[in-house]
Structure 1
Amino acid sequence: MALLQTTLIWIVYAIAIAILLAVASIFIYVYQTPRDRAPSVTITCIFAITTLLATVLLLPVDVALVSSTTSSELGRRKDWATQGEVDKITFSLTVVYYLLYSLDGLLCLLVIPFTYFWYEEYDEVAAESGDQTTAQRFWAAFRYTISFMLIIVVLFLVGFFVPISKNKDGQDLDYFRKLLTENHGERALTFALGLLITVGLCIYVLYTSSGLALLPISLIKTAPSISSPSLSATTAVQLDSNRERQRQLEGRCGGNPDLLSSKDRRELDTLVREERTLIRRQRLTEESQGKGRSRLVKAWIKIETIFRPVNLLFGILLLILGLITWTSMLLTAIDKAKNSICKQRCGYILGHINVFNPVNWVFVQSAKVFPVDYAIFTFLVLLFFCSSVVGIGSIGIRFLWIRIFRIRKGHTSPQALLLATAMLTVTILALNYSISMVVAPQYATFGPQTFCDRAPGSAGEQPDCSNAKNLIKPCSELADNEAAKGVCTPSVASTILNRVTMSFPFFGIIFFWAQFVFLAIYLIVFVTSLIRSPKLDERQIDEDAEEAEEEGLLASTGRRFNATWEDATGRVE
């Protein structure tokens, strides 16, 4: 029975990985520009996104496996769950976690930079003429990647020798003592993980919080009054009328605008600017209908069009879910600030939940029937992932206030795609901490595990609470009596993350206060987006800004059923 249950849990994880691979492939294919695709960039981005999502989606598997060793109704371990079997489960999970964390780090610090320079070093003219060989291109990309390799070496050297914090005044709990490791190799991995999470939090608090607020609002507020075919036909008529009027004015002056009156010159200048706008609008409407695109993109556009009417309801659902998640994060953050057993000395670790957390409660209850919690958790992770993408797309990839790259559907360059993937990699590591320690801490640590708060039998037998249900209590870090020690098994994910904050408390302080920054930015962007909607300024001269706004209008999904039908059929009624 135990083997069957464990196998089913891993099968669900394998199915989730296959779904994630499809999601990553669709994401990359939709966002990258069709005119400038590179196989190396595409494969690297798909593999990296799949790996980072697989890392965070290992948590429900972790919780399910450690929870399968206990009976929540009786508050005791199952007969097969000897300490040896439990250790095998936790060891296998630890190996998988460290492999995935190491792979995420290598992808972010080594593979993605190398792929970036490999793409940059390609010279089409030199390659065709034979002046550039694959070996020359590889060496040029490798030369630039050496600096990133040095960063990895420095990270592990610092983590290997930096002393861990041992000032844990008054803490004699076995659970917390076990978090402090003297193994230098594991310490180096722990330090590197803490540093990557810190970098990811900088992106997480800015981009993900903004995207989480903007995503549902954008779905709710989008309501074009005209379908793409109708807009295309109207634009064509306006363009013909514009050009005809320009020909009339030019005919008056014989091709010399200086001979026109001031009124006619102003009109001609206005017509020229309007013509540029109409030409861009015509091109964008053609792209929105899939003209000149592959069949897969055309099919995707049709699917988006068909599901337009449900966008409003879906947006409201995401809005409610976002507000509930925000509330849960705020409650846990306040709980940590008030009731942490050692405050900043151990990175605000929370011994047990003192304030009701709605998201945490839902996960704990659903975890009793696997894979219900896995489905909910996957939806939540994809929501945060999509929010990160929306945030990066809205703000852009910037250096301080200077925008370097844009992330847009069908217009993202390979360089921008690689940088966005690297940003998403460290963001997901930060999200892994946030979900595990702030959004649903009880679920992420012990899941639905309980213990019988009664002394063990004289022969070391497990206590029996079958006739005393009131003595069955949920497991927590502070449950340090003998009964809890023999039953409660913390998840490997929570152990690794708590080890980071316990061994290096300065990481824990940064992680903790970053959550308040996340909550504040979300609230500001949410309130601002509710009372303000973007408008197209026809007088705006900046072509890029105009194009971005027009794309936002054309990409918006509507609530008019006739517009949806026209977009789906491609005919104007």
Structure 2
Amino acid sequence: MDSPVPLAASWVVYAGLCGVLWLVGLATVRWLRSREDSDTASTATAWYVLTLALCTAALPALDVYLVSATTNPTTGLKYAWATPAVVHQLVTTVAYAHGGLLATMALALFVLVPFVYFYYEEDDAETSAGSRLAAAVKYTLFTALIALVVLATGFIFQARRADPDAPDWFRRLLTETALTRAALFGYGTLVLLGTVGYVFYTSLGLSLVPLNLTRVQPSPAARHNIHRTERELEVNRQMQRTLARRYENVRVPVSARDRKLLEEFRKHEAALLVELEACHRASRRSLLFPCSGSACMEAVCRPVRVLLGCVLIAVSWAVVLSVALNALAQMRHSVCGADCGYYFDQALLANPVAVVLVRLADLSPADVGGLLGLSGLLTLCTLVALVYRGVGLLGLWQFYPLTPGGTAPQALLHFASAAALAVPALNHHLATHIAPQYLAYGSQRFCNATTLPPVESIMTSTTPFTVSLPDCGDQPDLIVPCDVRAPHHLCTPTALSTLAHSLGANFPTLGDALFYAQLVFLVFYILGFAVFLVKACHGTLSIADTPSATAAEANREDDELRAETQAASPARYRYSTASTSSSGERRPLLTA
């Protein structure tokens, strides 16, 4: 790269990508929001917050590309135009972009989202607009106060002093100003909160998305018939259990009417079982001999979908293996251990993700595209897992179900907030645990010659590096990948890696907590992969049949099935919940 013009064009490309992500956020929110119970302010806020999260997820790729473009890979030196002032401006601009997006996201999470949420919660026919506004402002001030307390806590911590024998790279990570420490502590708190989503949702999505692509799927009509028959069979058996409970603790013979009704139920159950088996056979035939347009399209796309699923399985296991290898290396070879969040200063060549990205650097900018794809995959897996499980505590206890076309405004706001919290954590763990070496220096290589001028003269000189530094073009063995021990004037770390590693250096407790979260991430991924693999083998794995939507869908279908069963059943039975047992429990009552 003979001039910095392509670097300016990269910002244009990033702006265009943000425009595409803006549309993706809009499509996602419109796909989830309820058609009947929709709120314009909640929808717009969720769209805005989700777009912020997606743009933040795409920024690390631009960060890596900019620092990689300053070095000539054939000489191991900076380009002539990459003076210290230009490089500093590049890194500072990206750092401001990171900080601006994170600050805007924090403002939205602690001010905008609570205000819109509580304003909608106070919506009542008897409540005036002024009362709703006052209540929303009152609760929003409380959440804003929490954010201010977090920032104020950062001011309390004293600046950490480096040991006399500490290396230069560690000294550069330490902050001196109180304002910088407060902002860094706020960033660490945001990442720590988002790590909960990273551990419990990203790990779930990494196993769910690939396996869902590889499973064999019958046609939509066949799936609908199977599902409807199973639901009707469940209602029929519930009717039989209800009828049998009438005579459990009563010494009264079964009446002729109930005996006849029970016999009709059993005949109907047998007919439903035959129908269910026929539906399963039809679904298997639809896999082999598709006839409808949608089924034919599915048959054509199935090999591509299965191949994509296999590739994503390999990628997900590469990510998990990289996390495990980095965690092991950090525990065994960290230069400062728990005092700096287990920072690892050496390149881990066995890291599968880093190896692939470094190999792709020979086809630059394919490596940046690979990093962008990896960030997109992790973000997609997080969003899919959120929709699959619903917004809840630790991904297990569900608070707000997410149903395509039926998500309430409150759940939509929580979905966007959870995604916005998870993305900074994803970026942080990319830079510290998944591919730390590549996220720090990209494809930069430096001339590892021994005859170098003093660093002070280089940093104060206005002449290009190539005038005073030796050229390793004739000695390719001396051109090696950059790491933290390389000369700082030859290897420029990315803004994201500097921010991520500064957190562990200045606040070791936060760094340690984020490090140990990787171990929980590994456990949840392995458990999730095993469970979803069993479901995929039994044909019961489907992202469309989300547990978060089961309750709402079941209630809706129960009403439909009761009406259909009442009309279609040979006994013309009726199902109601009006009776109450002696213990106070409401029991379904069956009458002919």
| Whole-Å separation in 2 of the counterparts to 1:521 and 1:154 | 32
User: Could you tell me how far 1:161 is from its partner in structure 2?
Assistant: 2.1
**Residue in structure 1 matched with residue 62 of structure 2 by the alignment:** 61
| Whole-Å separation in 2 of the counterparts to 1:153 and 1:235 | 52
**Residue in structure 1 matched with residue 439 of structure 2 by the alignment:** 444
**Residue in structure 2 matched with residue 14 of structure 1 by the alignment:** 15
**Residue in structure 2 matched with residue 491 of structure 1 by the alignment:** 494
Conserved 8 A contact 2:162-2:171: no
**Residue in structure 2 matched with residue 119 of structure 1 by the alignment:** 120
Larger radius of gyration: 2
Q: Which amino acid aligns with 2:471?
A: D
Q: Which amino acid aligns with 2:347?
A: I
User: Could you tell me how far 1:382 is from its partner in structure 2?
Assistant: 2.2
Corresponding residue SS for 1:451: strand
Q: Which amino acid aligns with 2:472?
A: C
**Residue in structure 1 matched with residue 133 of structure 2 by the alignment:** 138
User: Could you tell me how far 1:448 is from its partner in structure 2?
Assistant: 1.1
Residues 150 and 486 of structure 1, relative CA distance in 2, 3 Å threshold: same
Residues 231 and 475 of structure 1, relative CA distance in 2, 3 Å threshold: closer
Q: Structure 2 residue aligned with 1:163, among 154, 158, 161?
A: 158
Conserved 8 A contact 1:331-1:355: no
Q: Structure 2 residue aligned with 1:456, among 452, 455, 470?
A: 452
**Residue in structure 2 matched with residue 260 of structure 1 by the alignment:** 257
Conserved 8 A contact 1:335-1:353: no
Query: TM-score, structure 1 length as denominator?
Result: 0.79
Residues 370 and 234 of structure 1, relative CA distance in 2, 3 Å threshold: closer
User: Could you tell me how far 1:13 is from its partner in structure 2?
Assistant: 1.0
| Whole-Å separation in 2 of the counterparts to 1:200 and 1:192 | 12
Corresponding residue SS for 1:74: coil
| Whole-Å separation in 2 of the counterparts to 1:118 and 1:270 | 54
Residues 301 and 188 of structure 1, relative CA distance in 2, 3 Å threshold: farther
| Whole-Å separation in 1 of the counterparts to 2:552 and 2:418 | 27
Identical-residue share of aligned pairs (%): 30
**Residue in structure 2 matched with residue 315 of structure 1 by the alignment:** 309
Conserved 8 A contact 2:391-2:399: yes
Conserved 8 A contact 2:57-2:379: no
Corresponding residue SS for 1:485: coil
Query: TM-score, structure 2 length as denominator?
Result: 0.76
| 1:46 is aligned to 2:41 | no
| 1:347 is aligned to 2:341 | yes
Corresponding residue SS for 1:219: helix
Greater mean alpha carbon deviation, residues 395-404 or residues 174-183? 395-404
| 1:37 is aligned to 2:31 | no
Q: Structure 2 residue aligned with 1:194, among 188, 194, 204?
A: 188
After superposition, give the CA deviation of every residue in 1:448-489 in whole Å (9 maximum; x if it has no partner).
11111122259961122121111112111122xxxx232111
| Whole-Å separation in 1 of the counterparts to 2:15 and 2:267 | 59
Conserved 8 A contact 1:365-1:448: no
| Whole-Å separation in 1 of the counterparts to 2:153 and 2:299 | 53
Q: Which amino acid aligns with 1:469?
A: P
| 1:105 is aligned to 2:112 | no
User: Could you tell me how far 1:332 is from its partner in structure 2?
Assistant: 1.6
Where in structure 2 are there 5+ consecutive unaligned residues?
240-253, 276-293, 459-467, 541-548, 558-592
**Residue in structure 2 matched with residue 475 of structure 1 by the alignment:** 482
Conserved 8 A contact 2:60-2:496: yes
**Residue in structure 2 matched with residue 254 of structure 1 by the alignment:** none
| 1:220 is aligned to 2:214 | yes
Conserved 8 A contact 1:207-1:388: yes
Greater mean alpha carbon deviation, residues 28-37 or residues 423-432? 28-37
Greater mean alpha carbon deviation, residues 369-378 or residues 9-18? 369-378
| Whole-Å separation in 1 of the counterparts to 2:362 and 2:115 | 44
1:19-418 → structure 2 map (5 Å cutoff): 19-123=20-124, 125-126=125-126, 132-133=128-129, 135-166=130-161, 168=163, 170-171=165-166, 173-224=167-218, 226-228=219-221, 231=224, 260-265=257-262, 267-268=264-265, 307=301, 310-367=304-361, 369-399=363-393, 402-418=397-413
Corresponding residue SS for 1:36: coil
**Residue in structure 2 matched with residue 517 of structure 1 by the alignment:** 520
| Whole-Å separation in 1 of the counterparts to 2:185 and 2:201 | 24
Residues 150 and 166 of structure 1, relative CA distance in 2, 3 Å threshold: same
Greater mean alpha carbon deviation, residues 353-362 or residues 145-154? 353-362
Number of residues of Structure 1 aligned to a counterpart in Structure 2: 497
User: Could you tell me how far 1:122 is from its partner in structure 2?
Assistant: 2.0
Residues 493 and 302 of structure 1, relative CA distance in 2, 3 Å threshold: farther
Q: Which amino acid aligns with 1:73?
A: T
User: Could you tell me how far 1:231 is from its partner in structure 2?
Assistant: 4.7
Corresponding residue SS for 1:403: strand
Residues 208 and 80 of structure 1, relative CA distance in 2, 3 Å threshold: same
| Whole-Å separation in 2 of the counterparts to 1:210 and 1:4 | 42
Q: Which amino acid aligns with 1:157?
A: A
